[in-house]
């Protein structure tokens, strides 16, 4: 049969049964036709979960094809040899079988003799990369042969394959930085031609190969990724998000593309992809209500199918970014139900992070605190990395302080004093230095003397106050060092941008709980947010603003 007619008929067949019936009707076919038949079988019989029908490997027609390839490998054309190899790898044929060893050996011999064209090299490279442990020596040979042709002439497919090869060989300690510098430069000019898959693969390789200096390429790929957001597979989107996190990229239009994509796809997205989206939002401090609302709905409907790590990844960002979605009551009812059934499966630190995030947004895990404060659980925390470091102990202390101040009805075990910290500044708690300096100058102008306010004051209650002002019974300011006859304490919170979600006036969870607790401890909390004072042009205007904010009764 004419090859063109053969492939036309082959492409119309949709099951291996139809293909085998068609092949058995032919008396003679070329190796290119036979390898094409194997490829078509792999296309219809292999999906994301693997081989649909493992029994097809025992089919007589299939075995006859394999027999020919095994014993006549030296007589095959390059195309026939490499297409067959690619198809058999996809069909999960044992790499240690005599058939696969024969095809691999013949391919490597032809590679060594320089008999493979550029297209053959790509096909061989892609096939080897599908194997569990490909030969790094052979992969290096492929790259060296490809370099002889000139890197500037590589197609996007060849570029992607080389990145993958460099990724694999780098694990063996092979250094390719000179080639990578050239490859990164060439790839920059082809970014606009890259498919969603190619863009995702290259970003993943740049992460694995730690190409932190390839900033122009990374930036271009991240911007190019925006238009592909609806078309990425789950795995591809995870790769892209990991690259955004690793390289510190923050592209507003990418977030907007996610905001359009996630709500529409939440019920079909893989939980690991949703977890990565939430991690991206959390690390970048992006409070995206469309994404968070959709994830809350997704959690309510599918929480029972999630792993403990995925449960934590879905929920923790709500606390970190201090946001309660419209479905908050259903969300936390579902979380409580899931915790009751899966509590023993949680790793200690994952459970602590999850419950701590809940109290940031005034959702109190009362039923689970006896476990957290139990000596057995605390020993488990200590035994697993990172152990009982300052961050972990501060979370425990804040949990205990929360139930003491906000849940007076809690009668369970208390946190032993040896696990409590006196004060711990969280990553976002340090005031903005420039803003802090301006506020102190304005306060000095207003109060006339520096003795009337103290800065960065440690309290007996875990928190550090930015600025404290003390008043006597008549409402007059007294020196900050005075301990007696103090009737009111004012806690001034100088909230720079680092204490808010990105591009938002929404306080982060850790700052919101601090201000809430200071009020419950008897302080009058006065918030001085950056967006109210950044336009004040001089010290006099700052003093005027502070007067109105701190002492509204005497202002004017």
The tens digit of pLDDT for each residue in 302-348 reads 999 999 999 999 999 999 999 999 999 999 999 999 999 999 999 99
- The pLDDT score that the predictor gives to residue 49 is 79
> In whole angstroms, what is the distance from residue 81 CA to residue 111 CA?
12
- The pLDDT score that the predictor gives to residue 27 is 84
Do both 466 and 520 map to the same domain? yes
Domain end position, chosen among 249, 280, 314 = 249
Count how many residues are written for the chain: 556
Instruction: Report if pTM > 0.85.
Output: yes
Residue 525 preceded by cis peptide, ω within 30: no
Do both 239 and 283 map to the same domain? no
| Closest listed residue to residue 72, CA positions, set 29, 112, 116, 103 | 103
Beta strand 50-51 pairing with 477-478: unpaired
Residue 410 preceded by cis peptide, ω within 30: no
Q: Quick one: average pLDDT of 450-463? A: 92
* 527 three-class SS: strand
* 269 three-class SS: coil
Torsion of CA 14, 16, 17, 18, to 10 degrees: 40
> Could you tell me if residue 288 is inside a domain?
yes
> In whole angstroms, what is the distance from residue 369 CA to residue 3 CA?
72
The pLDDT tens digits for 111-124 are 999 999 888 998 99
- Backbone Cα Rg of the chain: 32
Domain end position, chosen among 87, 115, 143 = 115
Q: What are phi and psi of 315, to 5 degrees?
A: -90, -40
Structural domains in the chain (count): 4
Q: In this model, does residue 148 exceed pLDDT 90?
A: no
Q: Quick one: average pLDDT of 197-218? A: 96
> In whole angstroms, what is the distance from residue 388 CA to residue 394 CA?
9
Which segments of 57-155 does DSSP mark as H helices, in order? 60-71, 78-90, 98-112, 118-130, 136-148
Task: Tell me, rounded to whole angstroms, the distance of Cα 198 from its chain centroid.
Answer: 19
Enter the tokens of residue 26: 């032919």
Do both 238 and 274 map to the same domain? no
Do both 232 and 270 map to the same domain? no
Q: Which single residue is written with the structure tokens 């198809």?
A: 87
Domain enclosing residue 207, as ranges = 132-249
Q: Which residues pair with 454 in a beta bridge?
A: 468
Do both 263 and 352 map to the same domain? yes
Do both 29 and 100 map to the same domain? yes
Do both 326 and 373 map to the same domain? yes
> Could you tell me if residue 387 is inside a domain?
no
The pLDDT tens digits for 247-281 are 999 889 999 999 999 999 999 999 999 999 999 99
Decide: 425 and 464 in contact? Cβ < 8 Å. Answer: yes
Do both 366 and 438 map to the same domain? no
Do both 161 and 261 map to the same domain? no
Q: In this model, does residue 423 exceed pLDDT 90?
A: no
Q: In this model, does residue 427 exceed pLDDT 70?
A: no
Domain end position, chosen among 206, 224, 249 = 249
- Give me the percent of the chain exceeding a pLDDT of 70: 98
- The pLDDT score that the predictor gives to residue 104 is 94
Do both 145 and 236 map to the same domain? yes
- The pLDDT score that the predictor gives to residue 54 is 86
> In whole angstroms, what is the distance from residue 138 CA to residue 127 CA?
12
> Could you tell me if residue 188 is inside a domain?
yes
* 170 three-class SS: helix
The pLDDT tens digits for 64-96 are 989 989 998 999 999 999 999 999 999 999 999
Q: Which single residue is written with the structure tokens 């027609």?
A: 61
> Could you tell me if residue 394 is inside a domain?
no
| Closest listed residue to residue 56, CA positions, set 91, 22, 82, 26 | 91
Do both 190 and 290 map to the same domain? no
> In whole angstroms, what is the distance from residue 129 CA to residue 167 CA?
10
98-112 and 78-90 helices cross at what angle (nearest 10)? 140
Which residues are CB-neighbours of 210 under 8 A, at least 6 positions away? none
Enter the tokens of residue 32: 């290119």
Q: In this model, does residue 430 exceed pLDDT 90?
A: no
Which residues are CB-neighbours of 60 under 8 A, at least 6 positions away? none
> Could you tell me if residue 511 is inside a domain?
yes
> Could you tell me if residue 424 is inside a domain?
no
Do both 229 and 260 map to the same domain? no
Q: Quick one: average pLDDT of 210-223? A: 96
> Could you tell me if residue 416 is inside a domain?
no
Is residue 263 exposed (0-12), middle (13-18) or buried (19+ Cβ within 10 Å)?
A: middle
Enter the tokens of residue 267: 């019920």
> Could you tell me if residue 396 is inside a domain?
no
């Amino acid at each position: 049969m004419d090859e063109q007619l053969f492939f036309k008929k082959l492409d119309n067949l949709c099951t291996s049964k139809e293909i085998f019936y068609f092949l058995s009707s032919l008396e003679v076919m070329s190796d290119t036709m036979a390898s094409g038949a194997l490829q078509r079988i792999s296309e219809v019989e292999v999906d994301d979960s693997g081989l649909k029908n493992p029994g097809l490997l025992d089919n007589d027609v299939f075995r006859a094809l394999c027999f020919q390839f095994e014993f006549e490998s030296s007589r095959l054309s390059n195309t026939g040899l490499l297409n067959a190899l690619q198809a058999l790898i996809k069909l999960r044929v044992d790499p240690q079988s005599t058939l696969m060893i024969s095809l691999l050996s013949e391919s490597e011999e032809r590679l060594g003799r320089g008999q493979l064209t550029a297209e053959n090299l790509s096909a061989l490279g892609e096939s080897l990369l599908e194997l569990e442990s490909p030969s790094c020596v052979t992969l290096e040979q492929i790259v060296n042969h490809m370099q002889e042709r000139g890197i500037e002439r590589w197609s996007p497919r060849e570029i992607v394959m080389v990145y993958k090869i460099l990724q694999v060989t780098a694990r063996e300690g092979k250094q390719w930085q000179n080639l990578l510098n050239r490859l990164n430069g060439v790839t920059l000019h082809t970014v606009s031609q890259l498919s969603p898959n190619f863009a995702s693969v290259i970003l993943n390789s740049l992460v694995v190969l730690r190409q932190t200096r390839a900033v122009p390429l990374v930036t271009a790929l991240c911007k190019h990724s925006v238009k592909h957001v609806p078309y990425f597979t789950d795995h591809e989107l995870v790769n892209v998000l990991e690259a955004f996190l690793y390289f510190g990229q923050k592209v507003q239009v990418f977030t907007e593309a996610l905001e359009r994509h996630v709500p529409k796809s939440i019920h079909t997205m893989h939980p690991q992809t949703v977890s990565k989206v939430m991690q991206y939002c959390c690390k970048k401090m992006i409070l995206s209500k469309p994404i968070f609302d959709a994830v809350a709905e997704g959690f309510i409907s599918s929480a029972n199918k999630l792993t403990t790590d995925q449960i934590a990844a879905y929920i923790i960002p709500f606390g970190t970014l201090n946001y309660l979605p419209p479905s908050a009551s259903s969300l936390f009812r579902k979380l409580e139900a899931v915790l009751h059934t899966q509590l023993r499966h949680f790793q200690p630190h994952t459970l602590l992070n999850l419950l701590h995030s809940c109290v940031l947004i005034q959702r109190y895990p009362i039923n689970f605190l006896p476990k957290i404060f139990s000596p057995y659980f605390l020993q488990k925390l200590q035994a697993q990395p990172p152990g009982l470091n300052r961050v972990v102990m501060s979370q425990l202390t804040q949990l205990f302080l929360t139930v003491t101040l906000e849940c007076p009805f809690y009668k369970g075990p208390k946190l032993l004093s040896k696990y409590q910290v006196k004060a711990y500044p969280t990553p976002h708690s340090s005031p903005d230095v420039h803003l802090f300096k301006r506020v102190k100058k304005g306060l000095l102008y207003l109060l006339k003397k520096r003795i009337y306010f103290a800065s960065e004051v440690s309290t007996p209650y875990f928190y550090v106050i930015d600025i404290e002002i003390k008043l006597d019974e008549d409402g007059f300011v007294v020196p900050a060092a005075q301990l007696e006859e103090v009737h009111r304490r004012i806690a001034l919170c100088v909230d720079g941008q680092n204490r808010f979600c990105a591009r938002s006036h929404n306080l982060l969870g850790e700052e919101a709980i601090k201000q809430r607790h200071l009020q419950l401890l008897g302080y009058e909390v006065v918030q001085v947010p950056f967006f109210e004072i950044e336009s004040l042009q001089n010290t006099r205007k700052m003093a005027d603003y502070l007067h109105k904010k701190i002492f509204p009764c005497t202002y004017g």
